[in-house]
Amino acid sequence: MADAHQHAPESPASGGAGPSRRDFLRQSLRGAAFLALGGAAGFLASRTARAGNIWQIDPYLCVQCGKCATHCVLNPSAVKCVHAYEMCGYCELCTAFFEPDPNGLNTGAENQLCPTGAIVRTFVEDPYFEYRITEDLCIGCAKCVKGCTAFGNGSMHLQVRHDRCLNCNECSIAVACPAGAFKRVPANRPYLMKGKRSEP
Amino acid sequence: MRRTRGLLLLAALAAACTGAFGEERFPPPEFTATQYALPAPTRPEARDGMRAGVDVAVLFGALCLSAWLVLRKRSRRGVYALMVFSIAYFGFYREGCVCPIGGIQNVSQAAWAADFVLPLSALAFFFLPLVFTLIFGRVYCASVCPHGALQDAVVLKPVQVPAWLDHALGLLAYLYLGLAVLWAVTGAAYVICEYDPFVPLFRMTGSVNMLTLGAVFLLAGAFVGRPYCRYLCPYGAILRLLSPLSRWKVSIYPDRCIDCRLCDTSCPYGAIRPTTPVGPAPPRAPDRRRLAITMVLLPLIVALCALLGSGLSGPLARMHPAVQRAEAVARGAESVADLTKDDADRLLAFRQNAATAAALPEEARDVMERFHRTAPWFGAWVGLVIAVKLIALTLRRRRDEYLADRGACVACARCFDYCPGEKGLLDPEIAARARRP
């Protein structure tokens, strides 16, 4: 099926002995294109790294608008609430855990701010309680973050969790973020967490 | 109990009113009664890692295979099989998000801004198909690109797009390329990714608008072959320029062409150029005159469009989030009631955070400055594209056989299947006799 003619670089339709003017032009342009591509690739190679940039939220810019829960291409979102325990006051009345003016300081669903019950409240010692985030349940709605930041120590904050994030070339939450809190960070320092102990 | 709670709440409110930003309203406790240890925060690693290297290897392998299937094996069936693989791997498995089309933006931003890091894999993904195109033609579009493969697979009853419309719409891709590069180098947005019609389908998630757009493209693709590739794809626009220079090319048995036109009707992309009609050639003088006029007009068109581009720098800058925020604040100062929901959120964010609020006006000015500098170049690019198209339209070439246009052909290998010469159905001597002198 494949005879030699098919694979000749250029069709010798012109019938002449040497390459036609058109072929010569094509060859020269091809050479130039190769050189240009090589040059561009070489120039860019000096600006490459093994890993590139990934998306992260600057918790100090975040205004807890709630768009992280709704605008991520993933459902549930790759943005989760993380807890800087060293900053936490371990309050009995946690404004991140309880609805404003709760019926009682217990784990009743009607008292909880979190729509998915992702925060686990456990007694540590009088009068302190620990609050842990169950990431599988967290949808990144930032209701707890808002409560904690407005009335508490601000130990709860949102972060893009990279085990879930698809690292889209254009993060669709970043496009929607009203505060410009989303940044591209180097992949080897992927988190912008609050608290000193969170420094890698 | 109730009283303590009320007190606590009061304390909390009082703390909130002091205006301190978060920290240390309630000093972290010293745990004395228990051996409580502070849990350490987890920082899960990124999902990728080795994957990028594997992807580049798969891309290279697929490109080699595609070139072999198109040029050597000449098998539509093989191309189709590779298409299915690409849709499955690059599409549904890798979710369309390591891709040379979007890579245009990463590469141009890396070329522009020295502090922007480009992963090696992105560099490879951008350049490998270009190199392959210079050697073998558009074998990337044929069956490696999941976007192209998906559209190729849904072609049902393609209609021939009229030449004038095809030429005009073809310019859109170059316009889109210019816009994408402009917005990438100014750090405004990655529009190609943001408005990619097929990635939401591959991910089976995304906004309703984008999913609808993807469905519309696929539906349109049943009747207009590869609408995205031909009229929008910015990477396709680059490949269309490089492909005519390729070392090898798709050829439809040129020595056995009997003018049966089967290849022409089989091509859903209008890429087959028919033979020049028999008879005396039309006079060349009008074409020459048109060529001369467009050559003279070229710098004028470019200059005019550059001027237009610089005039458009304001609206173009609105794609940048900092400008959007600054404008929302400015509008909010006039009347809060008329703000859109997004602008209201931006205004709220601005008021909530003093640090960013202070920096915003300068940032927005900075961005506007950047757009003032780059927008004329975008305009000049648009002018150049229009002028070069006008010049190309005046050129004419005599063809003695049916040929695939080297730029427009996406090497889908359909015509091989239709050509009777290819199938060995023609006695070469009959073919030779049937051929025009």
User: Given this model, what pLDDT does residue A7 score?
Assistant: 40
Substitution target from B32, B77, B99, B117 for chain A, most A beta carbons within 10 A: B117
Q: What total of structural domains would you count in chain B?
A: 2
Give the predicted TM-score (pTM) of the model: 0.87
Examine the domain organization and report whether B206 and B124 are in the same domain: yes
Backbone angles phi, psi at A156, to 5 degrees: -85, 135
Checking if the pLDDT of A112 tops 60, the result is yes
Residue B318 zone, left/alpha/beta (φ > 0; ψ -120 to 50; rest)? alpha
Q: Read off the pLDDT of each residue in B106-131 and give the average, rounded to a whole number.
A: 90
Using the beta-carbon criterion (under 8 Å), do B353 and A61 form an inter-chain contact? Answer: yes
Using the beta-carbon criterion (under 8 Å), do B251 and A186 form an inter-chain contact? Answer: no
Q: Which amino acid is at B23?
A: E
Tokens for A91, please give them: 């309050």
> Which residues are B88's β-sheet partners?
none
Using the beta-carbon criterion (under 8 Å), do A63 and B353 form an inter-chain contact? Answer: yes
Using the beta-carbon criterion (under 8 Å), do B47 and A162 form an inter-chain contact? Answer: yes
- Using a CB–CB cutoff of 8 Å, tell me whether A147 touches chain B: no
Asked if the structure places residue B31 within a domain, the reply is no
Q: What total of structural domains would you count in chain A?
A: 2
Range picked from A105-109, A119-123, B200-204, B338-342 for highest mean pLDDT: A119-123
Examine the domain organization and report whether A142 and A128 are in the same domain: yes
Question: Which tens digit of pLDDT belongs to each residue from B294-323?
Answer: 999 999 999 999 999 999 999 999 999 999
pLDDT tier, B90 (very low <50, low <70, confident <90, very high otherwise): very high
Examine the domain organization and report whether A83 and A43 are in the same domain: no
Q: Read off the pLDDT of each residue in B110-130 and give the average, rounded to a whole number.
A: 89
Asked if the structure places residue A14 within a domain, the reply is no
Asked if the structure places residue A13 within a domain, the reply is no
Of B27, B39, B247, the CB nearest to A89: B27
Examine the domain organization and report whether B128 and B186 are in the same domain: yes
User: Given this model, what pLDDT does residue B7 score?
Assistant: 46
Of A11, A89, A180, the CB nearest to B26: A89
Q: Spell out which residues of chain B touch residue A163, defining contact as CB-CB under 8 Å.
A: 44-47
Q: Read off the pLDDT of each residue in A51-70 and give the average, rounded to a whole number.
A: 90
Of A53, A75, A126, the CB nearest to B205: A75
Is the alpha carbon torsion for A4, A10, A13, A15 positive or negative? Answer: negative
User: Given this model, what pLDDT does residue A5 score?
Assistant: 40
B284 vs B274: CA distance, rounded Å = 20
Higher pLDDT, A194 or B305: B305
Examine the domain organization and report whether A131 and A145 are in the same domain: yes
Q: Read off the pLDDT of each residue in B226-243 and give the average, rounded to a whole number.
A: 96
Residues 130-189 of chain B with CB under 8 A from chain A are: 130-131, 134, 189
Asked if the structure places residue B317 within a domain, the reply is yes
Residue B307's domain spans which residues? 287-387
Examine the domain organization and report whether B217 and B339 are in the same domain: no
Examine the domain organization and report whether A33 and A77 are in the same domain: no
Examine the domain organization and report whether A39 and A133 are in the same domain: no
Examine the domain organization and report whether B97 and B230 are in the same domain: yes
Q: Could you report the predicted ipTM of this complex, rounded to two decimals?
A: 0.81
- Using a CB–CB cutoff of 8 Å, tell me whether B93 touches chain A: no
B258 vs B428: CA distance, rounded Å = 10
pLDDT tier, A36 (very low <50, low <70, confident <90, very high otherwise): very high
Using the beta-carbon criterion (under 8 Å), do A198 and B254 form an inter-chain contact? Answer: no
Residue A32's domain spans which residues? 19-48
pLDDT tier, B244 (very low <50, low <70, confident <90, very high otherwise): very high
Q: Spell out which residues of chain B touch residue A86, defining contact as CB-CB under 8 Å.
A: 28, 38
Backbone angles phi, psi at B219, to 5 degrees: -65, -45
Asked if the structure places residue A4 within a domain, the reply is no
Examine the domain organization and report whether A120 and A40 are in the same domain: no
Of B8, B116, B322, the CB nearest to A93: B8
Asked if the structure places residue A8 within a domain, the reply is no
Q: Read off the pLDDT of each residue in B260-274 and give the average, rounded to a whole number.
A: 88
Asked if the structure places residue A39 within a domain, the reply is yes
Mark which of B247, B274, B295 sits at the end of a domain: B247
Tokens for B117, please give them: 């890091």
